[in-house]
Amino acid sequence: MDTVLLDMDGTLLDLHFDNYFWLTHLPQRYAEFHGLDPLYAQSELGRLIASYEGTLQWYCLDHWSDLVRMDIPALKREIQHKIQIRPHAETFLRFLRQAQKKVILATNAHRKGLALKLEVTRIDRWLDLVISSHDYQQPKEADAFWQRLAKAENIDPARTLFVDDNLSVLRAARSFGLQYLVCINQPDSQKPPRASGEFIDIVDFDEIMPAGFTVQDLRPAIP
């Protein structure tokens, strides 16, 4: 295995931030800003969000800023304290670095939201490359994304591990031919685990590290 591809939201980072933002914080601020009934605002936003699911627009913060006439990146900063690294994720990243694997973050996150999360967590210090699907103008649910990524980074699907929490994305990666697929079963720490039954199912990264491996086994962190 030469290359490890990792999703961000729900995989390296707790999806609770995103769920809370889109389902609670944005509806509240949207209702306040536009003078709407809170329940109506929540219902209207839910309808809009569902209508774009699986498309690049669903992940595009510029699209949502235009649609709701509010600064979505600024609203995300209001609750940035909720951005958290998932258990064992940093240890896993450091383990991969020590094992000399090529580690690529492959996310659907828009570059503006991505910048905030990297600023808060600094997980990019353990990564060789950060790819947003917006760079290719195709979501990870599309085969075209995988075609472009593999060509650009010379990825051999037979020697690549990919970890994600999104079943639609994992299925697209499987169709493309990625050999090793791992599904995170508890992307949101506030919700119970749910196994996919289709892929290698794990709750946390310690389940796919060598038995008995601890952070003490690692070399000093990169500054």
Q: What is the pLDDT of residues 21-37, one digit of tens each?
A: 999 999 999 999 999 99
Same domain, 51 and 95: no
Model pLDDT, residue 209: 86
Low-confidence ranges of the chain (pLDDT < 70): 212-223
Of 81, 98, 133, the residue that ends a domain is 81
Same domain, 11 and 97: yes
Q: Are strands 129-132 and 160-164 parallel, antiparallel or unpaired?
A: unpaired
CA distances from 35 to 27, 48, 73 (A): 12, 18, 21
Of the candidates 101, 127, 97, the residue with the CA atom closest to the CA atom of residue 13: 127
Tell which phi-psi region holds residue 150, choosing left (phi > 0), alpha (psi between -120 and 50) or beta: alpha
Is 223 among the domain residues?
A: no
CATH number, position 158: 3.40.50.1000
Model pLDDT, residue 213: 58
Of 81, 104, 128, the residue that ends a domain is 81
Q: Which residues pair with residue 6 across a beta bridge? A: 105, 163
Is 42 among the domain residues?
A: yes
Same domain, 61 and 108: no
Model pLDDT, residue 115: 97
Model pLDDT, residue 219: 46
Is 120 among the domain residues?
A: yes
Same domain, 10 and 25: no
One-letter amino acid identity for 81? H
Same domain, 100 and 23: no
Supply the range of the domain harboring residue 119. Answer: 3-15+85-217
Model pLDDT, residue 41: 92
Same domain, 48 and 152: no
Is 180 among the domain residues?
A: yes
Contact 50, 58 (CB under 8 A): no
Is 157 among the domain residues?
A: yes
Model pLDDT, residue 222: 38
**Sign of the CA dihedral 30, 32, 37, 38?**
positive
For the stretch 143-162, what's the b/e string if a residue is b when 16 or more beta carbons lie within 10 angstroms of its beta carbon?
eebbebbbeebebebeebbb
In whole angstroms, what is the distance from residue 206 CA to residue 49 CA? 34
Model pLDDT, residue 143: 96
Is 77 among the domain residues?
A: yes
Same domain, 68 and 111: no
In whole angstroms, what is the distance from residue 222 CA to residue 142 CA? 35
Which helix (DSSP H) or strand (DSSP E) does residue 22 occupy?
none
Same domain, 122 and 47: no
Same domain, 104 and 176: yes
Same domain, 104 and 64: no
Same domain, 99 and 207: yes
Same domain, 139 and 213: yes
